[in-house]
A = this chain, B = another copy of it.
Amino acid sequence: MWERGVAMYRTRLDRENEPGVKKVSRSVIRRLPVYLRVLDNLIGNDVEVISSRELSERTGFTAEQIRKDLAHFGAFGTKGTGYNTEALRSEILKIIGLHEKTAVIVVGAGHLGTALTRYNVNKNPYTHVVAAFDTSPEVVGDKILDVEVLHVSEMEEVVSKHNVRVAILAVPSEHAQAAADQVAGSGVKVIFNFAPLWVRAPDGVFVHNADLSVELQSLIYYATKEREKAH
């Protein structure tokens, strides 16, 4: 991640038996917010219906893939016409779980943590950054936009009070695993980790390691030879 996307980084696939839960792949889930953004734009321009072909042109995914993705969750379209933009948007919000603003915390209020806090406050209409956390007395008490920087000792209370289920980790590598343990212990269900180190979490906690240095290093491969252009 970003994208890691994404490839699967684990020794064994242990996605077994989840009874009753239709398994939907990470790739599908990744594309949903992209559809969402296009729908937001269309609705802003009073477009009421869109076909999978038009969505394809605006997202870069094939029309078949878009139809398959949506079909995982139900039949939202009208044959011969397309998809109602408002209705589809509402369905996608429900699928992802964005129909209510998601409470998020940012752990680590250094440069990256500050940037990520601002980024989400300004650019992400579906999340609410409840607080940022740090250990340094120099930043605890500061505000990033309207977000207070609190001491990490207050984390558990904040997480449980606001029912926070998502944490963005932007702490130095040497503290990343400890921070992950702490947020997982506080009840957070998703960890979005930016430290250049793969943090582990107990079962039931979903970890996405963004790892910007690894991502950049892998991109350098495409700088030398002429290769295909991709996402």
Q: List residues of chain A with CB under 8 Å of any chain B CB.
A: 1-15, 18, 21, 26-27, 29-34, 36-37, 56-57, 59-62, 95-98, 102, 104, 110-112, 114-116, 118-120, 123-124, 126-127, 165-166, 168, 173, 189-190, 192, 196, 198, 201, 203-231
Contacts and interface: CB of A to CB of B under 8 A. Distances in A.
B206 A61 contact: no
A56 B4 CA distance: 19
Given A11-B56, A211-B2, A115 B111 contact: yes
A45 to B, nearest CB: 16
Given A214-B37, A231-B8, A208 B219 contact: yes
- Copies of this chain per assembly: 2
Contacts of A218: 29-30, 32-33, 96
A96 B224 CA distance: 8
A120 to B, nearest CB: 7
A230 B208 contact: yes
Given A124-B216, A219-B208, A6 B2 contact: yes
Contact of A189 (B97, B111, B212, B223): B223
